[in-house]
Amino acid sequence: MKKTLIFGIGLALTATLIITSLAMARSVGITERGQLRNPDCPVVSNLTEEQQQELSRITRDYRDWIYPKKQQMIARQAELNALLATEGADPAEIEQARKDLAGLNQEIFEGKLDHRIKMSQEYNINTGIQGRVRGGKSFSEFGRSARQHSPRYSR
């Protein structure tokens, strides 16, 4: 029974890591060579060539920093799940795994926020929560709130 549980958890962890690695390999705004994916975008086309290259570098550096952190987060979550699934697990180990997970989550949040602030202040690029560029304009500038644009509120 214990071997089956450990094998199942290991298999689930491996599958999760493979799937997330493949999902994160797709960059949001930069190609594999570090080029901007859509230089005709109104936000990017207003930048000089040097600014576009700097933007590519900043985004590439951020991506190279955040992906390993996310992988660590997934691994720590799997460890915590394994500890919680094990009968008679040491509460101190569970608490330490929880603290590690919370610390990584805080570090990722601060890194994302720093990146968003830098993009907004230096390049006037307002990225959404999922990294989508909104062209530097909020929904309210068009006379409607973001909630009114949501399909949930279109009744």
Q: Is the pLDDT of residue 6 over 60?
A: yes
Angle at 81 between CA 77 and CA 85, to 5 degrees: 170
pLDDT of residue 90: 92
pLDDT tens-place string over residues 56-110? 888 899 999 999 999 999 999 999 999 999 998 899 999 999 999 999 999 999 9
Which CATH number is 2-125's, of 3.40.50.1860, 3.40.50.300, 3.20.20.150, 1.20.120.1490?
A: 1.20.120.1490
Q: Which residue has the tokens 């000089």?
A: 48
Angle at 61 between CA 99 and CA 80, to 5 degrees: 20
Chain CA centroid to CA 63, Å: 9
Q: Which residues contact 104 (CB under 8 A, 6 or more apart)?
A: 69, 72, 73, 76
Please list the residues that pair with 36 across neighbouring strands.
30
Q: Is the pLDDT of residue 53 over 70?
A: yes
The total of other beta-carbon atoms located within 10 Å of residue 127's CB is 18
pLDDT tens-place string over residues 101-135? 999 999 999 999 999 888 888 877 776 555 455 55
Residues 55/44, Cβ–Cβ less than 8 Å: yes
Q: Domain spans of the chain?
A: 2-125
pTM: 0.55
Q: Which among 133, 98, 127, 134 is positioned nearest to 113, based on CA atoms?
A: 127
